Structures are given as C-alpha cells and as structure tokens.
C-alpha cells in the first residue's frame, strides 16, 4: 500500500507560544511519529535531518526552524514554504508530506528525502557543465515552472542552491527538483498570497530580474525566467551575469546589458546564446514563458548533441574553454595577465559617456576613473573612453599620449574617417554594446603596447 501524503496540515500554535531554544538530536522523536537519525545540513532558516517515519519505516527529510529564527515573519515564511510546496503536484518539485509543531513547540516540515546534491554544490565542484547537461537541467526546471506559473505561483528565488540534482543511474542525467518556496508569491492566493512587504526587495541579487530589484513591484513569471537564464549562463560559463557587492549587482541588473554567452564561451551553440539573450532581456514582456524555454531547448538540445559529436572528432578542440583565456577567433571581455599591459588596467571615462559604461568596465577588472571634461592637458597614461569627442578633441588627447576609444554612428562614414585620421585606436558604434566594450579596451591596449614596443626598438 502506498501512502498518499495529506494536503491538510494542522495550523501551528500562535507565534508567541513558541519557546523552544534547542534543535533535535539523533534519537529524538518529532510529533510522536518521526525519529531523527542524523543532521544533513543547516541553512539560514532551518536545519535539515534524515529521519524515519515510524510505523511505515519510511526515510524522510525533516526541516526544523532554527531557534534563533523563530520570529513571526520567519515562521510565516516557513509555514508558507510547506503550504505552497504541498499545493504543487509536479515531479520537479520536492514533495511535502507533513507540517506542524511538535511537543517541544518546534516548527517542522517533513519532505521526501532527496539523495544527491544541489546544483550549487555541483557547480562548486565542476564549475562549468557540458552544454547537454546544462540544457537538461534548464529544461527540467522550466517544466516545473510551467506547473507553478499555470496556478499563478512565482518562485522568486530560482538559483543553483534551490535546484537539487537527485542521484540516478550512472548512465543517466540527474533528475532535478526545485526546492525552497519560502519566497514564493501566488497572485490572488488568499493566505498563500504576499508575505513580504511591497517595499522589501526579496531574492538573491545574482539571479534577480530588474523588476524584482526595484522593489515595490509585483513580479510575475518572467522574473523566474530571468533567474533561470542567469543559472543557465552560470552553468555554461562558471559565473552568473554580474559580479560585485550586492548594491553593485543590483545596479547592473537594472542598467547594464547582460553579457553574451558567446563572449564568455566562444564555442557555445548560437541557438543557446540567442535563448539566453531572450531570457535575460531587461523587459519582462520580451522574455519567453516557461513553455517557450522548453520549446527552444528542444531544438537547442539536438544542436548541442551534434556539436559535441563533431567536437569529439577534433582532437585539438577543447569543448569547455578556460575562462579568462581569449579565443584567437573571437576576442572576449575576459582578461588574462598575458594580454594586458599593466597589472590593474586603468581606463579613464571622459565627458559623461553613455550610462553604464563605467560599471561595465569595472566589473571586467578595470580601475575606472571618470572625468567630466572631454579634453585636458594632463598626460595620457592609458586607454581613454571619450564617446562624444570630436576629431579635434581626439587628436589632442592622442597627442598627450592617450589611447582613445571614441563613438560614432556606423553610417556616419565622414565622422568615422575623421576619428581614425585623428588617431583613435577604436571607433565603436553608438549606442555602445556594453558587453563588448571591455574586449575593445583590451584590443586598444594591445595595439598601444605593440606601438610602444616598435618605438623602443627603432634604431
């Protein structure tokens, strides 16, 4: 006989009644029916244990709220996780069996016991996944999101640590489960509705959609798609779209175009790169829905398999290039000590350049100095980005020793020619594609370095 998990959970006691200050230990009995066997892990909100359901002798996972986190709002979030996850009926979502308060006033949640590891742990170990594996994980999570979004549920915290890879047969890819619905939001969901305040920003900055970063905005399913696109980019390149302190990441999520997959990983599938571009679009309405992601991955998956078969036939080809080593065929924004002229490259951004330029360069490892004036008499010591400069202003900075990058409308051939004649090292199209700007700076530095070496070697 197979037990059907009950979906009707008892309401916990009032928040003020919770007085427990200890976590359970091996051998303790929770609610008279779950024996604690061992602790499996501990997070910011609860500790998770392997336990045995007495009577059925079934192995389960029991999550217990940490004593120091037993405030009213955290308890509401903990209860919410149980009820939202229990409302889901999908193989890609961890199954919840029970929820309540034990005789020691400890709030607990009983779930299916998952054997395996989180995607976060896997990426910590492997750093970059083969495209086929990344596509498979993304497709499984997208399938779970279809089920969630169909009932109005937005997870709001899709990230590697909340995707669990369940162990299976050695010749099969792992099954994936989405966990931790503590931040989830159900539109018009009654007591399953909003938990957080309208003014609170909730989520993990590395994976948060621009609309989620703003706070005070009701986020919808497109926010989960953005987060999943960020996870997919991380699986393929070793890191999410943006880096920095929390505030810097939030600013970049709002204002800086996301990096191109093919910039970080030149051998990546063009179809997969195009899909990530759509998933990471700043405009929610321009992102595909979860079904659209699955449909795109279906075509991409076949292209990935064919590409990997071809790659294995070329002995000199490396499927996963080392991050930070630019491809000879596709210059990237990644920097390597052999490719730059100074240990910490300095870039001067002059004249109120396009918004986001300074941030885009800073996150790629440059020391950025901003100057309001386009032209000065100070000696140029490196690359200067002066997108709005006239040919005369460019010539003046070049004469001062600067390596200049300037902007122009690609169809304004007279201006382009004049800027090149004035000595500009790089003329970029405006508005500038920020994700490509760092590679332009590297190229300008190399050109200036070669010119310097030629000058030194002249008889």
pTM score above 0.95: no
* SS3 state at 214: helix
pLDDT of residue 21: 58
From the list 204, 254, 429, the residue with the least C-alpha distance to 356 is: 254
Q: With 70 as the cut, is the pLDDT of residue 189 above it?
A: no
State the pLDDT confidence band at 66, using cuts at 50, 70 and 90.
confident
Q: Which residues contact 61 (CB under 8 A, 6 or more apart)?
A: 40, 48, 49, 50, 51, 110, 111, 112, 113, 114
70-84, 178-192, 286-300 — most confident range: 286-300
Helix 290-312 / helix 131-150 crossing angle, nearest 10 deg: 170
pLDDT of residue 183: 57
Alpha-carbon distance of 75 to 97, in angstroms, equals 18
The answer to whether 18 touches 75, Cβ cutoff 8 Å, is yes
CA angle at 234 for the pair 221 and 317, rounded to the nearest 5°: 135
Beta strands 426-429 and 403-408 are parallel
The answer to whether 45 touches 23, Cβ cutoff 8 Å, is no
**Which residues are known to be catalytic?**
157
Alpha-carbon distance of 197 to 200, in angstroms, equals 5
The 3-state DSSP composition of the chain as helix, strand, coil percent (nearest 5) reads 40, 15, 45
What dihedral do alpha carbons 72, 76, 78, 80 form, nearest 10°?
180
What percentage of the chain exceeds 70 in pLDDT? 70
pLDDT of residue 102: 82
Query: Strand ranges (DSSP E) for 255-320?
Result: none
The answer to whether 202 touches 156, Cβ cutoff 8 Å, is yes
Instruction: Pick the range with the lowest mean pLDDT from 6-20, 50-64, 256-270.
Output: 6-20
* Residue whose entry in the numeric block shows the structure tokens 């999570």: 141
Q: Look at 453 and 424; give whichever has higher pLDDT.
A: 424
Phi-psi region of 409 (alpha: psi -120 to 50; beta: other; left: phi over 0): beta
Mean pLDDT of 59-79: 76
Q: For residue 91, how many other CB atoms are within 10 A of its CB? A: 12
pLDDT of residue 246: 86
> For 117-142, how does the pLDDT look when each residue is reduced to its tens digit (9 = 90+)?
899 999 999 999 999 899 999 999 99
Beta strands 383-385 and 29-30 are unpaired
Alpha helices by DSSP H, listed for 88-220, are: 119-126, 131-150, 210-214
> For 231-260, how does the pLDDT look when each residue is reduced to its tens digit (9 = 90+)?
999 999 999 999 988 888 989 999 999 999
Q: Which residues contact 309 (CB under 8 A, 6 or more apart)?
A: none
Q: With 70 as the cut, is the pLDDT of residue 382 above it?
A: yes
What dihedral do alpha carbons 286, 292, 297, 302 form, nearest 10°?
-120
> For 308-323, how does the pLDDT look when each residue is reduced to its tens digit (9 = 90+)?
444 433 322 222 222 2
| Count of H-run helices and E-run strands, the chain | 13, 16
State the pLDDT confidence band at 191, using cuts at 50, 70 and 90.
very low
What dihedral do alpha carbons 374, 379, 383, 387 form, nearest 10°?
10
Q: With 60 as the cut, is the pLDDT of residue 328 above it?
A: no
Alpha-carbon distance of 389 to 407, in angstroms, equals 8
Instruction: Pick the range with the lowest mean pLDDT from 189-193, 223-227, 247-251.
Output: 189-193
Domains of the chain with bracketed CATH: 15-112 (3.30.200.20), 116-312 (1.10.510.10), 346-457 (3.40.50.2300)
Q: For residue 440, how many other CB atoms are within 10 A of its CB? A: 20
175-184, 208-217, 334-343, 386-395 — most confident range: 386-395
């Amino acid at each position: 006989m197979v037990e059907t998990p009950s979906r009707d959970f008892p309401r916990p006691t009032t928040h003020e009644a919770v007085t427990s200050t200890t976590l359970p230990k091996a051998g303790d009995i929770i609610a008279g029916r779950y024996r604690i066997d061992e602790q499996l892990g501990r997070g910011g909100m609860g500790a998770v244990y392997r336990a045995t359901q007495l009577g059925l002798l079934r192995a389960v996972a029991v999550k217990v709220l940490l004593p120091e986190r037993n405030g009213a709002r955290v308890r509401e979030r903990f209860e919410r996780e149980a009820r939202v996850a229990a409302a889901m009926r999908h193989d890609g979502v961890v199954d919840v069996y029970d929820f309540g308060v034990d005789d020691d006033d400890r709030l607990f949640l009983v779930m299916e016991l998952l054997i395996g590891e989180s995607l976060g742990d896997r990426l910590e170990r492997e750093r970059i996944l083969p495209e086929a594996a990344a596509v498979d994980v993304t497709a499984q999570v997208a399938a779970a999101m279809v089920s969630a979004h169909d009932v109005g549920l937005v997870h709001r915290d899709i990230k590697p640590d909340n995707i669990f890879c369940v162990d299976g047969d050695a010749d099969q890819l792992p099954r994936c489960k989405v966990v931790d619905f503590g931040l989830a939001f159900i539109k018009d969901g009654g007591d399953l509705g909003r938990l957080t305040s309208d003014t609170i920003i909730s989520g993990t900055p590395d994976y948060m959609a621009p609309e989620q970063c703003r706070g005070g905005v009701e986020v919808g399913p497109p926010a989960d798609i953005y987060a999943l696109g960020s996870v997919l980019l991380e699986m393929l390149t070793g890191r999410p779209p943006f880096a920095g302190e929390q505030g810097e990441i939030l600013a970049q999520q709002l204002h800086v175009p996301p990096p191109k997959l093919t910039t970080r990983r030149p051998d990546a599938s063009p179809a997969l790169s195009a899909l990530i571009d759509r998933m990471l679009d700043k405009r929610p309405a321009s992102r595909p829905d979860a079904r659209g992601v699955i449909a795109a991955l279906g075509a991409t998956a076949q292209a990935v398999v064919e590409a990997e078969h071809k790659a294995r036939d070329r002995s000199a080809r490396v499927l996963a290039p080392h991050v930070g080593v630019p491809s000879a065929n596709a210059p990237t924004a990644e920097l390597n000590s052999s490719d730059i002229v100074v240990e910490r490259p300095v870039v001067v951004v002059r004249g109120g350049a396009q918004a986001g330029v300074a941030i885009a360069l800073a996150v790629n490892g440059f020391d950025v100095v901003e100057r309001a004036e386009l032209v000065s008499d100070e000696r140029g010591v490196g690359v200067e980005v002066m997108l709005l400069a006239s040919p005369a202003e460019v010539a003046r900075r070049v004469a001062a020793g600067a390596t200049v990058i300037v902007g122009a409308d690609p169809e304004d051939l007279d201006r382009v020619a004049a800027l090149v004649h004035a000595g500009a090292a790089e003329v970029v199209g405006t508005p500038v594609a920020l994700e490509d700007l760092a590679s332009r700076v590297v190229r300008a530095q190399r050109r200036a370095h070669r010119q310097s070496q030629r000058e030194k070697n002249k008889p």
